[in-house]
A and B are shown apart, each in its own frame.
Chain A
């Protein structure tokens, strides 16, 4: 497919935007920035008038990566709004509980940042996309057994980092 129509782009967005978010997130460790990267890459796709695109996912990844690099250079300070907490804003959680939840998310986020990129990527794919080891092996050009070992090692390393930081898993 080289000539992408708007409805095809929309279908691709519905089916692949979360995966792209996960890949961008593993690069920047920032949920908001990763989401912005997804939006920016698709916005560029709508405006694109160049050579036909053969591998759309690879194209979107490259555009998103470039945008993330530029955003890091700009060193914009984004506010971590924790989109997943939107539903909780009007729930029974108190302001203190929401703040604690936010701090906990930030702590885990910073611990993830300390992992190497491959370890972080397998954790992101596994727990944000619920991918199997076989699926991850395809993306990473590896084997399912190697992915399982990396997952186990990444979890262990993350646990060590959180323990060193005094993380309380209550």
Chain B
């Protein structure tokens, strides 16, 4: 009895499990009509679903482009929200003039020269806005 024979047959000369597996696969490979042997004719929800997912999945290049676009959009939104001034209280536009560490006290500054805001003191010494225009930034010795 050869080794090949012993692997194919059990002690009672019956075909082994492995031999039966191979026999049945070979049998049905020839038995199934050629017209039905294409992979698409195999009913399996998994391949069908997988094919749909793969078909709809964007390519690597387009995925990178999408991610880059999202990152750019996020950055733009962050910049927009960070630079956006607070809503004004009363007339005029308020700007932050103190350091971030300090408490935020907004000083009303108006672009209109004759607005009431020009009469509002801009510091603790009661300096008015119109008076600040007379301050020389580079005083001569």
Contacts and interface: CB of A to CB of B under 8 A. Distances in A.
A123 B24 CA distance: 8
B43 A101 contact: no
> Which secondary structure dominates where chain B touches chain A?
helix
B35 interface: yes
Contact of B36 (A17, A32, A101, A108): A17
Interface residues of A, number: 41
Interface in A9-39: 14-19, 21, 25, 31-32, 35, 38
A31 B41 contact: no
B36 A105 contact: no
B73 to A, nearest CB: 39
A16 B43 contact: yes
Contacts, number: 95
Given A19-B43, A158-B20, A84 B15 contact: no
A135 B48 CA distance: 14
Interface in A55-101: 82-87, 101
Given A18-B43, A21-B33, A105 B27 contact: yes
A162 interface: yes
A169 interface: yes
Most chain A Cβ neighbours within 10 Å, of B17, B24, B29, B48:
B24
B41 A169 contact: no
Most chain B Cβ neighbours within 10 Å, of A17, A123, A162:
A17
A36 to B, nearest CB: 10
Interface of B: 8, 12-17, 19-21, 23-25, 27-37, 40-44, 48
